[in-house]
Amino acid sequence: MDGQPDIVASGPQRRPGARWPGPGRRGWTAIFVVVLLACLGATISLALLVAHQDDTINDLRAALQNARHPAPARTTPPAVTGSAAFTLPDAAGGLFSVVAVGIRPTPGSAAVTWLFVYGQHAQPGESYGVIEDTCGGQYVAAYDVAHGTADRAGDLTIVAPDLAINPAASDVWILLYRRDDGAPLGGVQGPLTGNGARIFRSMAPC
């Protein structure tokens, strides 16, 4: 059961008369994720994308504006190493999708992962989390990488930037769960941004 990509965009402003110093590493990352999200926008459920488009734009704009360390204008921007989107198995209490984007911050550096989780028809006010682990590890060792709360309309957006996860690793998995009772709502086993990813409901196939 394979899923397919999903996405969105925005950018910084320049103060009149001030010299633009160039975005920092996190700024470049946000820019590239924004561009990538714009390119992937037609590949996942349009209704789900529209429902969360404003939240995604705001999250990415915030990440860009929070770039505190400007770099020289000639600094090589991060490179997108891959991307993919997945629709999680239908679960009681919501429809959920995951978008994964691989980013290489600097030439020769290890790639990191940005995750975007979108949900509809969730329980308003319900809290959800995303955990990550590798095959062969103990479930109790899995740790939260991000969490979010469904709004009054039952819509959910979770953004997890700059995760120290190799997006091309086949033994990495992520899982969305309901924090109130720990109920699993579906996940993806890597490679998160390449061919061969596997979607599961409660346990990684490993």
Say whether pTM exceeds 0.95: no
Between 95 and 45, name the one with better pLDDT.
95
**Beta partners for residue 83, in sequence order:** 101
Which pLDDT score, from 0 to 100, does residue 28 have?
52
Separation in Å, CA 5 to CA 42, 69, 70, 186? 8, 31, 31, 16
pLDDT at 4 over 50: no
- Tens of pLDDT, residue by residue over 175-200, are 999 999 999 999 999 999 988 999 99
Q: Domain extents for the chain?
A: 25-200
pLDDT at 110 over 60: yes
- Tens of pLDDT, residue by residue over 150-184, are 999 999 999 999 999 999 999 999 999 999 999 99
